[in-house]
Amino acid sequence: MSTVYSAIGRRKTAVARVRILAGSGNVTINKRPAADYLMRETLVTIVRQPLELTGQGGSYDVLVNVRGGGLAGQAGAIRHGITRALMAADEALRPPLKAAGYVTRDSRMVERKKPGQPGARKKFQFSKR
């Protein structure tokens, strides 16, 4: 049996559990093909970026369980997870992935809403009288 490499990727509030194994380049997200699940070609491209960058696009099948957040956050979490799994499979892939910025977790989160305001930054309209 072929070796399975697993990793966890995170982005915003999305968490992706990624497993890669030797295969033909199929990406399955929550038991559905990536194009069906993500629905936007740009998000599918984001998910495939680490594979294309390292030239591993056709050599691994990717199985993903992802939950939380929206589709864009989930796509970023999957990319992060695939990157970590590729590095577990072959440490020599780390420098190009690091240079492309895929290794670092994107720590930006939604700012919380403050009391006495309609949103995080927005203020209620000022009325002098």
The 10s digit of each residue's pLDDT in 78-128 is: 999 999 999 999 999 999 999 999 999 999 999 999 999 999 999 999 999
Other C-beta atoms within 10 Å of 127: how many? 5
Phi, psi of 28 (to 5 degrees): -115, 125
Q: Which domain holds residue 48?
A: 4-100
Q: Is the pLDDT of residue 1 over 70?
A: no
Q: What is the DSSP letter of 48?
A: H
Within 10 Å of residue 59's Cβ, how many Cβ atoms? 14
Q: Partners of 17 in the beta sheet?
A: 8, 65
User: Residue 120 falls within a domain, yes or no?
Assistant: no
Residue 67's pLDDT is what?
Answer: 97
Q: What are 12-36's pLDDT values in tens digits?
A: 999 999 999 999 999 999 999 999 9
| pLDDT class of 129 with cuts at 50, 70, 90 | confident
Q: Residue 121: inside a domain, yes or no?
A: no
* pLDDT on residue 117: 95
Task: Say if residue 38's pLDDT is above 80.
Answer: yes
Residue 115 lies in a domain: no
Residue 110 lies in a domain: no
pLDDT at 2: 75
Question: Structure pTM?
Answer: 0.92
CATH of the domain at 13: 3.30.230.10
Residue 79 inside a domain? The answer is yes
- Has residue 35 been placed in a domain? yes
Residue 111 lies in a domain: no
**27-29 sheet: strands from edge to edge:** 4-11, 14-22, 60-67, 27-29, 32-33
Q: What number is the average pLDDT over the span 60-64?
A: 95
Domain count, the chain: 1
Question: Considering the domain boundaries, does residue 125 fall inside one?
Answer: no
Give yes or no for residue 60 having a pLDDT over 60: yes
